[in-house]
Amino acid sequence: MNTTPDVLVIGGGMAGIVAGTIAAENGLEALVMRTGQSATAYSSGAIDIIGYPPEGLALKEYFPEIELPFKTPIDGLRAILSLYPFHPYGIIGLKAEDNESIEYVIAHVSESISWLKERLAGSCAALVGDLDRNIFPITALGTTKPTCLLQETMWSDTLNAHPDNVLIFAGFSGHSEFDAQSAMRAYLESQLRTGEFPHKIGHCEVEIAPFGKPYNISSIELARHFDHEGSVDHLTSALKAHVDKLGATHVAVPPVLGIEQASQNQAQIQKELGVEVFELISLPPSVPGFRLQRAMDRVFKKAGGTLLIGHQAKSATIKNDMVESVVAQSPRREVTISPKTIILAPGKFIGGGLEADETGIRETVFNLMPVTSSLYSAEDVRPTNHTNVYSLSPDGHALFAAGLAVDMDFRPIDADGIEHARNLYCAGSILAKYNYSMEKSGLGVALNTGFAAGRNAVKMVREAS
């Protein structure tokens, strides 16, 4: 392992892998270290750019003309950039000439989306979607949510197109993570309320015993089972009886059609049954999130990057405004790395980039100053002061919008607005001033800030050499 890489990325979720890949594709030596599983791998695998403002529906009180959820990510970006200038998307726009920041950000997001779709084409997480519309895939609860990019196996463009369409929600016996009947009921209610097609909706349960196990089956077990050649034949014939009986045109299944083989399995079932089959968006842990992380890791390695799994950055030394070295711990050894630039992308509370206890919120590697959603220091603020009494509050929890404040290059800054070190950038959910759970923007912000931070690091290395 090279302990003097051009770019060291701390954290290998969406933000870190994108930043590392940008560096590697530009011919730099990029090292990404990841200590544990990422929020990216737990996520639904759908890449939201922006669906709602940070306070959810509360904004409608002040701007009744705003249509929520945003019909297109572009509408959402325009609203965010006008109303929340310090949102991470707003930080991207600070580099633009006067009055051009909105178009600059839209062009940046558009470029990052095309970049990602190209890299993931043909992979187990190949994507559909673009900036011109938010799509509304169905979740395993029978609800819908706005998103920009969806894995190809999870979308049907024709479902809502025709009044005669008939949809079946198909579940698996012994798989408690999905209840086809409840999903069917919730979806039917919402279709009748909105008047959208389809109105003919049924449900069924098929019996699959992955690896001989008929009960307590997890999604990941089903997906692994369907990765084996021929294993989808039984599912196809079991579905056929229900499809024929109900005259179904579409079949929705939980996202378990495979880790590597989902797309081939989908194509096979569709061909043999003559219906459209698609996967639903599921609750965590989700197979599509895992597929996304796996596919991204491959993109990074293919670009020539080095991925260290199980290494945790613990501390760093800073000299003359530059990070000189980072000490990391693996299960067997401690290693000191002296990179030219560092991108901090360790996620927020789930990834471990921020820690909170009754005394306040802390950043875990560099002891940087986290800020609240109002940009005050969060170091001495009790986390409970930023939560609502209702855990599922429609206004969200300001705690999720705490994080690091950055300059226009995505370098973390202190209370005086001075960057902590000239060669330290950060990206992803550790950033302050956005609330992914309310906004539906988590992977979009990670993609775009990773893209921006990666480019800034490349520029710095090039200018220094």
Ligand X SMILES: Cc1cc2nc3c(=O)[nH]c(=O)nc-3n(C[C@H](O)[C@H](O)[C@H](O)COP(=O)(O)OP(=O)(O)OC[C@H]3O[C@@H](n4cnc5c(N)ncnc54)[C@H](O)[C@@H]3O)c2cc1C
Report the interface residues with ligand X, using CB under 6 A: 10-16, 33-40, 42-44, 46-48, 284, 312-313, 345-347, 350-353, 364-365, 428-429, 436, 442-444, 446
Using CB atoms, what's the residue nearest to ligand X? 13
**What gap in Å lies between CA 457 and CA 443, rounded to an integer?**
21
**Cα separation of the two ends of the chain:** 22
Burial class of 122 by CB neighbour count within 10 A (0 to 12, 13 to 18, 19+): exposed
Phi, then psi, of 109 in degrees rounded to 5:
-65, -40
What's the closest the beta carbon of residue 325 comes to ligand X, in angstroms?
14
DSSP state of 377: B
Alpha carbon of residue 452 to chain centroid: 17
Nearer to ligand X, 21 or 43 (CB): 43
Nearest-5° Cα angle at 362, 414 to 328: 95
**What gap in Å lies between CA 39 and CA 443, rounded to an integer?**
9
Q: Is-contact 278 199, C-beta < 8 A?
A: no
All residues at 6 or more sequence positions from 263 whose CB lies less than 8 Å from its CB, including other chains: 124, 126, 152, 153
What's the closest the beta carbon of residue 32 comes to ligand X, in angstroms?
9
Give the residue among 353, 362, 346, 350 at the shortest CA–CA distance from 453.
Answer: 346
Nearer to ligand X, 6 or 363 (CB): 363
Nearer to ligand X, 21 or 35 (CB): 35
Nearer to ligand X, 56 or 347 (CB): 347
Nearer to ligand X, 314 or 462 (CB): 314
**What gap in Å lies between CA 318 and CA 325, rounded to an integer?**
7
What's the closest the beta carbon of residue 245 comes to ligand X, in angstroms?
33
What's the closest the beta carbon of residue 64 comes to ligand X, in angstroms?
27
The runs of H, that is alpha helices, within 227-327 are 232-246, 262-273, 287-302
Nearer to ligand X, 14 or 273 (CB): 14
What's the closest the beta carbon of residue 338 comes to ligand X, in angstroms?
16
Nearer to ligand X, 269 or 308 (CB): 308
Nearer to ligand X, 13 or 339 (CB): 13
Evaluated on CA atoms 293, 298, 300, 306, the torsion sign reads positive
What's the closest the beta carbon of residue 78 comes to ligand X, in angstroms?
19
Q: Is-contact 342 324, C-beta < 8 A?
A: no
What's the closest the beta carbon of residue 290 comes to ligand X, in angstroms?
12
What's the closest the beta carbon of residue 116 comes to ligand X, in angstroms?
12
Q: Is-contact 134 36, C-beta < 8 A?
A: no
**What gap in Å lies between CA 304 and CA 226, rounded to an integer?**
31
